[in-house]
Every structure is written in structure tokens, then in C-alpha cells.
Structure 1
């Protein structure tokens, strides 16, 4: 039996769509479809039936799915056993991650992981938080990284660290409109706003035992933190951003904290392993590395992304710092 066709079948079964499986794994839809037809030819039975836009397993497909997962798991076991002989984690590790900070957090951490484990190959898929719950516990991935809501951590998740948001603006913006010294003054400012699945995000801030919720106004709304940060550096307004996400911009005075004593509740960054009954050496190595990455004293050496400001004078612009490498 063709293992590629078997793996394609499992991917289609878990995503309930040829198109979704093709997008998720960056394969042409025609390739996924061909592998499915080849497998159905080998089995001698149809494996899916279509209901609207969704593919559902036939009785034969349900039986095969259970066996296919066992076969693919045994292949992973064999690869892991070979790795153990060499006493080194190796092979392909498939990592899913919610994409809020792909380059600022996940890519940077994975770059450091690659330096520590050069024999492990990375297969990384970013997806939106809205599809996270559908994918996090399936066997599609070896591990899933997510930026969870405060208080929303389930028993399958392990918290790696927590992240707090604060308000930020460019020095140029504050020089033009003034620096707020109380939360009540925020109503006089423009916001660069984040859109969640439920609508525009309000600013829920705390200072010791005090709390306030501000519904800012603004003409820039996005569901991507990089876009928010870019426009904030470009003096479009004040944005609520994760503190680690603004570290380099603040270091180079492209952004400054606004009302720094007011912050959001801490949100956890979590890791989940879809199948906790079995963990290959490569997955264990990845989880252990993720834990160490967020410990105090970890030193990262590699390229880091940041947004630089523009110095606008007489209709010309110049960009100053070159790409930072630490």
C-alpha cells in the first residue's frame, strides 16, 4: 500500500475537505485528489461521500482511518527507534501554531531549536485562532503552539510562559497629540485597533486593584499584530500590543510605552501534544527546548524582526538602523 496515499487519506479525513487538506499541507489539490483515487483503487471501495461542501467517511473509510493511523504511528515508532540508536532526535516534526506572532516568536524560537537539533526537519503550519480548537488535538501535528485567552487553558495544555499587553505609541505621535497621563485621556486619541472573531477588541487594563475598559476609536483595524505595530510606529495612533512584541522598537525609540502602569491580564502561551500516549524523541526534544527557551537567562543568537521608523524631512525619507542581529 502506498504510504503517501495513506497519509493523504488521513489528512483529508481530519480536515473534511480536499481543498482544506491541500491548503493546510501546501500541496496541489490535484495531488491530494490523485492519491485518494489511487488508494480507493487499491482498496476497491469509496472512502468518502460528499454532503454539501464537506466530505464524510463511508463505512469503509471509517474502518480504514483507524488502521491507517495505526500504520502511520508504527512508521513514526520505527523512525524514533532508529533515532534512539544514534542517541539523537531526528526526523520531521510537524508543528502547528496560531499565527499572531509567527516571525516574532515562533520563527525565532524555531531558529534557535534548529541550531540545537540540526537533524530535525521542521514542517510548520500557521493557522488562525478560529480554527485552533478543530486542529489542536488531532494527529495532524506532533505539537501545537497557541496564544490562549486568560483562563482558557485546558488540561491538555502545558503553559510555557505568559504575555502581558500594554499601550504603545510613537514619540512623533505623542509629540503632536500629547501623552495621556490618565486612562480618561485616551478618549482624546486615535487607536490602532485589533479585530477578534467577536469584533473590535476593547482595551481592558488593570493597575493593581483598579480596572478599566476603554473602547477606543480609530480608522485602522486589523486582525494582525504586525500590521498594528507597523501603523503605530508610523504614528497612526496608540495600540494595545504584547510587551515582548515591542521590545526592539522601544529599544530604538520607534515606540514608547503609554500609561505603562496599566496593563492587561497575562495570557498564556501553551503547547499541546495531540497524542499524549506516545511521544517521539523529536517531540520530547522540542517540548523540552520550548520550556528552556522561556526560562530566564536563555540567550538567543540570530536575526530578529522589528519595525523601523521613518525620518521624514522636506518630502524625503531615510531609514536608519540596519537589520538587527543579536
Structure 2
């Protein structure tokens, strides 16, 4: 038994595919199959049930996978620790982020992090919040970036930013000349919002209901760019996170207006498992928190 066999065992179990595990490790699928067969022969148990369409862990495989994952985590941590001792941290971070955070918040943090730690490989993917929680539970990512974080068992939540919500309207809209608006000004207006299953959309809907404001929903979408384009086209107004319309405000393609009422800002958080984080992930947390503290 060797570490390569254990890593392939973990990779196949997580991806449920010999071919995906092969691509992730830059080897051929037959090589993966051979390594797994050698491991099974040495252990004296079958680890996977293989069919033409899917790969699933056997009961024995289920019993062993968590131990194999622990061994691989310890090996990765050991390599990361050695790189720290040498003064040049290395390793990998897998992070999933919701689009509005990844596109409008993450850039400056990521630039600073990669400048400080050029030998750490950063794998970034865009997902919605629900998928991010699922990926964390399945250990397919190391951390997630979401808005309005949920407290879930086994998750460590670090809120590192709070973003004001503002009103965005077309430049020809009657409200466009105002510097501030009251939520009462939205009564009966055509309105564009995030879908209800998006936490930001749910929070905006809650704010309107708390203030007894009824709007005419003409469109919902889970993509901030689609919402902005609809507002620019004059289809309706939208309440959005301030940073997502900063460029439009500067270019004067949208009127961005502050809301008079003291509505809660949008919290943005880094989610990770409560268990011991990798050295690269801890370094990334330090950059997030340190950059934000320097702003305050």
C-alpha cells in the first residue's frame, strides 16, 4: 500500500468516476484501475462496485474512506508545514463563491493573497449558495464565500464584510435625480429582484414585507448582471448590493440611490469546516480579515 493508491481511492470515491480521477492526477484511466485493483488485493476487500454507468463504494469502501481521507489530509498538512518552515508556503485551496461576491469582492483579496503566496494554487469556482453548502458537506471544496451565511453544524462562519443595499433605477426614471429615497417611494413600482431561493433575494423580499411595501415584480433572476441589464433597459427598479453597481454609478449608466431607512447591510462570509483547516486556507483567512481590518 502506498500514498498514491490511497489518493486515487479518495479521488475516485469523491468523483464517483475512474476517468475523472485519472484526469485530476494526470494519468490514464487504466493506471487508476490498476492501482485500485492492487490496493483491493492488498487489503483483501473490494472497495468499489463498478457498472457501465456509475461507480459506488462498497460497504467496506464506505467503512474505509473516512480513514483514507484523514491520512491524505495529514500528508497534505505535513507537506504544507514543511513549505512553511522553508519560508515559501505551498499547497492548494479549493473555493466556491457566489457570483456577486466572486466578481465584485474577491479580486482585491485574491490579488493580495497570490502576491504574498505565489506557490499556493487557488482553484475558484462559481456556484449558488445551496450548492456551496453541499460541496462543503461532501468535502469537495475547502471553503465557500456566501452572502447571508447560515449557521450549520460543523461549519465555521467568518463574516469579513458587510455591504449596503442601494436602489438602482434607469437614468430616465422619475426617481433618478434623487440622492436618497424612502422605501415608500417603491410602492407599486415595477421591480426586478433576485429569485427567492437566493439569500439576497429572500433578504430583500423580507425588508419590503417588514415595511409593508408592495411592488410589482416584473422579473426575477439569479444573476446580478441580468438584473442590472434589465434595470438599464427600463424594465423596472432593483435593490442591489452597492458594490455590484459601483461601475454603473461611475459611468452613469444607472442611477444608484441610497435608501433612507436603516436597513441591514448584506453580510458576506467565508465558510469552512470546523475541523483543522489547511495552512493555505488559514493564510487566506488572514488575508481576508487583515485586508478588511485595514479598511476600517
- Structure 1 and Structure 2 fold alike (TM over 0.5): yes
| Correspondence for 1:37 among 12, 33, 36 | 33
Question: What is the aligned partner in structure 2 of residue 294 from structure 1?
Answer: 292
Alignment of 1:50-199 (within 5 A): 56-149=56-149, 152-154=150-152, 156-174=156-174, 182-197=182-197
Cα distance, 1:8–1:125 mapped onto 2, change above 3 Å: farther
RMSD: 3.9
Deviation at residue 246 of structure 1 after TM alignment: 1.8
- The C-alpha deviation readout for 1:222-272, integer Å capped at 9, x for no partner, is 111122123323433211211122222223322223462146433321223
Deviation at residue 288 of structure 1 after TM alignment: 0.2
- The C-alpha deviation readout for 1:68-101, integer Å capped at 9, x for no partner, is 2133123212311321222232222222323343
SS in 2 for 1:196: coil
| TM-score of the superposed pair, with normalisation by structure 2 | 0.76
Q: How many residues align?
A: 285
Cα distance, 1:187–1:107 mapped onto 2, change above 3 Å: same
SS in 2 for 1:42: helix
Structure with more of its chain in helix, by fraction: 2
Deviation at residue 34 of structure 1 after TM alignment: 5.4
The answer to whether the 8 A contact 1:4-1:35 is kept is no
Deviation at residue 211 of structure 1 after TM alignment: 2.8
Cα distance, 1:191–1:69 mapped onto 2, change above 3 Å: same
The answer to whether the 8 A contact 1:100-1:225 is kept is yes
The answer to whether the 8 A contact 1:2-1:39 is kept is no
For structure 1, which runs of at least 5 residues remain unmatched after alignment? 299-326
Instruction: Verify: 1:205 aligned to 2:207, yes or no.
Output: yes
